[in-house]
Amino acid sequence: MSMNPFDEIAVEEAVRLKEAGVATEVIAVSAGVTQAQETLRTALAIGADRAILNRPAYFATAEHAHD
């Protein structure tokens, strides 16, 4: 799963705001299946300080439905 281009632009702008002193921290957040980790790693590579993956139980169930 790759990062949506609009999300990538948003992360880049957030990093610019941090570098300009307007923001103090950039946190990337995603809710979903384990494949979202790649998207969060991309956000970290762009310059986000932290990344959070929220995996509600219904996502975990759906993720294993294809096994």
Domain spans, the chain: 5-64
Burial class (CB in 10 A: 0-12, 13-18, 19+), 5: exposed
User: With bands split at pLDDT 50, 70 and 90, how would you rate the model's confidence at 22?
Assistant: very high
Residue 18 has pLDDT above 60, yes or no: yes
User: With bands split at pLDDT 50, 70 and 90, how would you rate the model's confidence at 58?
Assistant: low
> How much is the average pLDDT of 36-64?
85
With beta carbons less than 8 A apart as the criterion, state whether 15 and 50 touch.
Answer: no
Q: Can you give the pLDDT at residue 62?
A: 55
Residue 9 has pLDDT above 80, yes or no: yes
Going by C-alpha positions, the residue among 9, 31, 12, 28 that lies closest to residue 20 is 12
